């Protein structure tokens, strides 16, 4: 199975680059399943039902979010009703929506999509490690589901890496979001789980993590409440991670970053294979 994960969409520029390229990518890469993090899709903060529908129409199969998920209150009834749109798993019981969902790929195979939020330098939600353990224990990879993708939304690279290792051997892909900067550590962990600390964003990189740089710089320099941050509107880069799984186990065979458009250098998938531990 080939699964593409697109990093945080930021504003109109991020939406447009995904809407433009995703249909072609599904065909060119023979994608079986696509997940998009869209928590910053609506003018940089939150998302709406309309945006979700647009992403589904061009080929997204599931949408994940993060700490900005509730910025547009209109998303609450939508996220409560559609199991393809997730909020972080480790919100307290009674929070609208769901943090994990089994979604059918177009060929009928089942993919468990999990959205979890870290706690270091973030909101103090419930324990993400315990929350992920529970959902993985109840959905064993290769038995209950054909693939497992986990979006780890967090600030600290150490916490994301720790969650990656906790999930090793139990998930197809663990990929980070939130920092909007693509990391260079795409790899298949020893137990067979593909991992990248952050997928990066789909947005304009002539910016401060997707926001207009002048306003962001002024906030750092003066600490005075001023103009609200707004998304940068220049040509956007689409940053994503592609994983190919083994059909019998659901574990990763290969993983690679994908970057298209905008200011960043193009990165077309040149797969990073799993290490042959038997030869070592």
pLDDT value at residue 279 = 41
Convert 175-202 into a string of H (helix), E (strand) and C (coil).
EEECCCCCCCCCEECCCCCEEECCCCEE
pLDDT in tens, 33-43: 999 999 999 99
DSSP 211: B
pLDDT value at residue 280 = 38
Please state, in angstroms and as integers, the Cα–Cα distance from residue 54 to each residue in 29, 152, 158, following that order: 21, 24, 34
**Predicted structure pTM score:** 0.95
Whether 68 is a known active-site residue: answer yes
pLDDT(278) > 90: no
pLDDT value at residue 275 = 63
pLDDT band for position 272 (cuts 50, 70, 90):
low
* Domain 2-203+233-279 class in CATH: alpha beta
pLDDT(277) > 60: no
pLDDT band for position 273 (cuts 50, 70, 90):
low
**Over pLDDT 70: what percentage of the chain?**
97
Which is catalytic among the residues 21, 43, 68, 139?
A: 68
From the number of C-beta atoms within 10 Å of its C-beta (0-12, 13-18, 19+), residue 94 rates as exposed
**Over pLDDT 90: what percentage of the chain?**
93
> What element of type H or E holds 267?
none
pLDDT band for position 270 (cuts 50, 70, 90):
confident
pLDDT value at residue 174 = 98
Q: How many CA atoms lie within 13 A of 211 on its CB side?
A: 16
Task: Give the domain ranges of the chain.
Answer: 2-203+233-279
pLDDT(185) > 50: yes
User: Strands 110-117 and 100-104, how do they pair?
Assistant: antiparallel
Place of tokens 């959205």: 115
Longest dimension (CA), the chain: 59
Other Cβ atoms less than 10 A from the Cβ of 196: the count is 27
For the chain, where are the alpha helices, taking DSSP H only? 11-28, 49-57, 75-81, 128-138, 157-167, 213-222
pLDDT in tens, 161-172: 999 999 999 999
Closest CA to 170 of 116, 256, 92, 250: 250
pLDDT in tens, 218-259: 999 987 777 889 999 999 999 999 999 999 999 999 999 999
pLDDT value at residue 276 = 56
pLDDT band for position 65 (cuts 50, 70, 90):
very high
pLDDT in tens, 106-143: 999 999 999 999 999 999 999 999 999 999 999 999 99
Helix axes 49-57, 11-28, angle to 10 degrees: 20
Average pLDDT in the chain = 95
């Amino acid at each position: 199975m080939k699964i593409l994960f697109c990093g945080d969409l930021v504003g109109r520029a991020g939406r447009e680059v995904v809407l433009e390229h995703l249909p072609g990518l599904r065909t060119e890469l023979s994608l079986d399943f696509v997940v998009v993090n869209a928590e910053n899709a609506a003018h940089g903060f939150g998302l709406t039902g309309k945006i979700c529908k647009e992403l589904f129409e061009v080929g997204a199969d599931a949408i994940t979010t993060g700490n900005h998920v509730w910025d547009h209150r209109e998303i609450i009834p939508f996220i409560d009703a559609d199991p393809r749109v997730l909020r972080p798993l480790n919100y307290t019981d009674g929070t609208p929506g769901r943090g994990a969902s089994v979604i059918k790929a177009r060929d009928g195979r089942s993919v468990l999509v999990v959205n979890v939020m870290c706690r270091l330098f973030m909101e103090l939600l419930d324990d993400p490690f315990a929350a992920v353990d529970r959902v993985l224990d109840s959905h064993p990879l290769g038995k209950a589901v054909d693939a497992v993708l986990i979006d780890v939304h967090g600030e600290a690279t150490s916490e994301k890496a720790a969650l990656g290792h906790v999930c090793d051997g139990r998930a197809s892909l663990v990929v980070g979001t939130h920092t909007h900067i693509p990391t260079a550590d795409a790899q298949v962990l020893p137990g067979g789980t593909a991992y990248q600390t952050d997928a990066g964003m789909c947005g304009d990189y002539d910016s401060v993590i997707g926001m207009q740089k002048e306003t962001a710089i002024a906030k750092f320099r003066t600490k005075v409440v001023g103009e609200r941050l707004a998304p940068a509107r220049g040509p956007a880069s689409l940053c994503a991670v592609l994983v190919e799984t083994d059909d019998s186990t659901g574990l990763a065979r290969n993983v690679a970053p994908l970057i298209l458009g905008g200011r960043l250098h193009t990165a077309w998938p040149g797969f990073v294979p799993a290490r042959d531990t038997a030869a070592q």
